[in-house]
A and B are shown apart, each in its own frame.
Chain A
Amino acid sequence: MSTRSRVSSSFAEVRHAVHRAMTRAATLSSAILCIVTPARLHADTHHAPVRPRAQVRVEIASKLYRIKLDGGDGTRCGATCSALETALTTRARTAFDARYRFVDWRASGEQMRDTIVVRLRERPRANVEMVVTLNRRAPALSSDSVAVYFDDFLAARSREPSYWDRTQLQKVWADTIEARLDAHASRVISLVIGRLPLLAPVNFPSADSSSRVDVSADSLRAALQPPVSFLVRVVIASTRQRTVYEQNGELRLNGCVEGSGAGQRRYVCRKLEFILTDPVRESANFFAVKASADRITTKSVHLYEYTSAPRNTRSSGLVIPADNP
């Protein structure tokens, strides 16, 4: 997984992302207009549904686990294995909903474009690892996965049959999955979950000014502290000798805190890093590139660093009523 090999996506993917964003924008605006007049829209950005929708699914791919759970040769996930996958998926959804609240986590069974897969797979003779990956129905923006240690293969192989009781495993493995998510939180967000695109307009900075991302902390269910970071994928178009060249880049907006302007709550980011992603990844001066480019357009906006606000509170700290009066 060399950094140098992580190259930007193709133009078809860009088109796909843009089309998807426009389709979603059209759907959303009609939904919003049902409730408030356009003039009021800016005051209610906290409920603009900028959050991407996704599902989470747990897969038991380890042959050893499958054999221990259902016998056979482990090429298929048998009845016990499938039941355990379902139970772990339910627990994982709750766990993801508490940790990555900027995503609207949907129940399994709904047709979803994006699914986060938590796969328990084994490496020969070494260990069982947990791989967290973003699966997209259509090939789109490239995504990484995060692989972390889950269990010791040799120890697992020699465990007594009673260890493989489904009810107990459900509890133990759900706990392990959550603990691994927490220990590798920053990588899981930046490399996998954060790859789900947000519907958020970005204002690029001119020299010495701040970047602006027009979403509120409440709409992302984000805590006000610590600040969030956004990753904005951009396309830079420039003309040389009457030929238009396009390059891809990534703008990392760090230390973004919520502020307000014109009655709208949004993020203001004072620090930025810029990387040109093709032909090779290299740091560059954003302002110099911007000055020489014909135009810079946003391809997609992602969260790179994020902390959820506690459930039942708004980002301001206001506690909202409990579910059941």
Chain B
Amino acid sequence: MMPRSILAPMPMRWLGLAMSLSCAPLPAQSSVVTVSRVRVAVQQARARLEAGDARAAAAQYDSAVTQLQELPVSSDRTRILSSALFGRAVAVQQQASTAVDSAAPAERLAQQQRIVADFTEAERLDSARFGGAASNNIGIVLREAGDHRGALAAFQRATASADAIRAQFFVHAAQEYAALSLPDSAAQAYRKALRIDSTLTSARAGLLELLSTRFPADSVVAVVTKWSVNPAHGRLVIDALYDLLRSGGRTAGLPDTALTLLAVNFATMGLGPADILRDHETRLLAAVQCVTTEREGGAGAKAPPPPLCVPIREMLGLAARSDARDARTYNRRFDGSRWWTSRVDRLAVWSMLLRSFAAAYDAAGNPGLALAYYEAALARPWTNGPPPPWMDIESIAPMAMLYAERSDGGASLREFLDGVFQGKSMAYEQNDTARLRRMHTALGALFVSRAEWSNGARGALFQLDRMRQMTRRLNDGRLADDKLADPPDLLNQLRVGLCRAGRSAEAGIVLRDVVVGFERSDRAASAPKAACEGAASAQPPARTSHR
């Protein structure tokens, strides 16, 4: 039996003049009210709510609740009643949060209690559908009323549900922790949200903002360093790095780190020279206050420019003059790059940026400049021994593809790959597992693109298998939530290649990682369902080598 106070129609005052003002009539009243008719009315109310007409939706939901009172109890009635109560509460809350509030405090409190009562009753009637959502919405109502403790308790209940958007409920809980000055709990809640749904931008943005405002700067650096590998996070990471640049100077070395990480993210996002000039020239110059003040009569010339103006102008100079590079400049002797080429770690970042420019030229149909910039990124030519440690390993595969298109019968490619293998041997001698993993990944990608699968070390199966080995070795020393993951698309290629080579048991093991990888990148629906799915239609492993 429902409490009468909950099922009672909303007072006319509460509804305002919604019904009389609305041009669209409510469904015609019928002498026989049936569950089906009310269901239609509830669906119409939902459509109005979705269209933004909360007032009309509230009136229609209210009418549905009243009509359902007249009907005998049944499972259908209970289901629709819970929907109508939930919808009514949402519609009224939405009206309340957007309306100019002239109601007295006591009236507002009464309205809030009615909304909470509707949500509570909807959850009681159908906890499977409204368990998480109703608690979450109660939390929103209490939060907007300034009751952060009550809101937190409601969000905590919501996080315990199995709702599909449970991760979002963790974000709401995190916001309340932050509001209650509990930053550690807030950070933990954001991280839980990301573990459930790594694509949830609001959780990433919230965590970054929290770290920026409540934690030391190196916490932000640690997080953005980790997130810098994924272009999808680029925008958030870049914003956080600009904040660090602006607030630079408080921690030794921090502005330098922020700038180099910014360049890493430009490369991760695949920005070309035009992108950097368009979106970042003004921001970079303003962030460290090296904007010239020509329009203001050169007043800024009195003080020396901040030290970071040098690397910023070097980077912008590279972008501005990029089209004019001739073939000779690829031998890493760029004018005006003293800051970036003065240390090995900066050289590595500079090389990444050069690769990003190369990819942009490649996409724009300029293979000449693409080749020049890839060669610069790889510090080519390697005339005096193996490639240097700062070379950009991710440039290997696209560089090899460009060489393969040359008309010299593959001589450039052979010479290039010999150098790459020489560099890999050195990495083995130095037991540099991280570098080895990247080299095996790059070579795996290259051999997959050339459909060269089974040719020992010069085949995709070998290289991708080694990639997995190196990843496992690196992960042995890492915490559970900090494990490295191989690129899911390459793993998927390995799965298919293993099947084609008759190694279906190993393909089954790889499949598990493929599925996890696709889920992680929000592509679960596209993940293969069986170890050898698609293997029959894949191209057969090539037996020939490029030699």
Contact = CB atoms under 8 A, between A and B. Distances in A.
Given A46-B52, A325-B79, A163 B98 contact: no
Given A35-B22, A45-B98, A47-B53, A225 B87 contact: no
B400 to A, nearest CB: 12
Interface in B311-351: 323
Contact of B523 (A48, A175, A285, A316): A175
Interface string B6-27: 0000000000000001111000
Give the secondary structure class of B's interface.
Answer: helix
B111 interface: no
B254 interface: no
B295 A284 contact: yes
Nearest to B132: A319
Contacts of B49: 320-321
Contact of B365 (A46, A123, A226, A252): A123
B206 to A, nearest CB: 6
A248 interface: no
Contacts of A3: 274, 277-278
Contacts of A305: 235
A36 B21 contact: yes
B422 interface: no
B537 A318 contact: no
A153 to B, nearest CB: 10
A22 interface: no
B168 A313 contact: yes
Given A35-B56, A225-B202, A273 B526 contact: no
A35 B451 CA distance: 63
Interface in A133-151: 147-149
A163 B274 contact: no
A263 interface: yes
Given A126-B367, A162-B536, A226-B235, A316 B405 contact: no
B521 A47 contact: no
A155 B93 contact: no
B42 interface: yes
B201 A223 contact: yes
B522 interface: yes
B23 A34 contact: yes
B307 interface: no
A40 to B, nearest CB: 7
Contact of A226 (B231, B236, B363): B236
A325 B80 contact: yes
Interface in B400-444: 401, 405
B274 A285 contact: no
B526 A172 contact: yes
A43 B172 CA distance: 25
A323 interface: yes
A190 interface: yes
A87 interface: no
A248 B295 CA distance: 17
Contact of B231 (A42, A184, A263, A313): A184
B137 A147 contact: no
B71 to A, nearest CB: 14
B97 interface: yes
* Residue of B90, B98, B282 most packed against chain A (CB within 10 A): B98
Interface in B338-384: 362-365, 367
B401 to A, nearest CB: 8
A301 B140 CA distance: 31
Interface string A41-62: 0111111100000000000000
A219 B98 CA distance: 12
Interface in B525-547: 525-526, 534, 536-540
Interface residues of B, number: 90
A265 B96 CA distance: 13
A163 B539 CA distance: 8
B51 interface: yes
Contact of A283 (B46, B80, B235, B281): B281
Given A312-B165, A322-B129, A155 B539 contact: yes
Contacts of A159: 537-539
Given A123-B365, A310-B165, A155 B449 contact: yes
Contacts of B86: 321
Contacts of B202: 223-226, 307
B405 A46 contact: no
B308 interface: no
Interface string B273-312: 0110111011101100001000110000000000000000
Contact of A163 (B56, B235, B449, B538): B538
B140 A317 contact: yes
Contacts of B55: 36, 44
Contacts of B46: 320-321, 323, 325
Contact of B94 (A174, A225, A318): A318
A35 B53 contact: yes
Contacts of A126: 362, 367, 401, 405
Nearest to B49: A320
Interface string A150-180: 0010110011101101001001101100110
Interface string B88-116: 00100110011111000000000000000
B282 A325 contact: no
B279 A190 contact: yes
Nearest to A308: B201
A224 B525 CA distance: 28
Given A183-B231, A325-B42, A158 B539 contact: yes
A129 to B, nearest CB: 7
Given A158-B539, A263-B99, A47 B136 contact: no
A44 B52 contact: yes
Interface in B447-485: 449-451
A296 interface: no
A275 B539 contact: no
B183 interface: no
B410 to A, nearest CB: 13
B270 interface: yes
A147 B361 CA distance: 11
Given A43-B99, A325-B39, A186 B234 contact: yes
B223 interface: no
B506 interface: no
List 7 tightest A-B contacts by C-beta distance, closest first: A47-B52, A263-B100, A325-B83, A175-B526, A162-B537, A226-B205, A225-B205
Given A2-B274, A3-B277, 7 more contacts: A3-B274, A35-B53, A44-B98, A190-B279, A263-B99, A318-B94, A324-B43
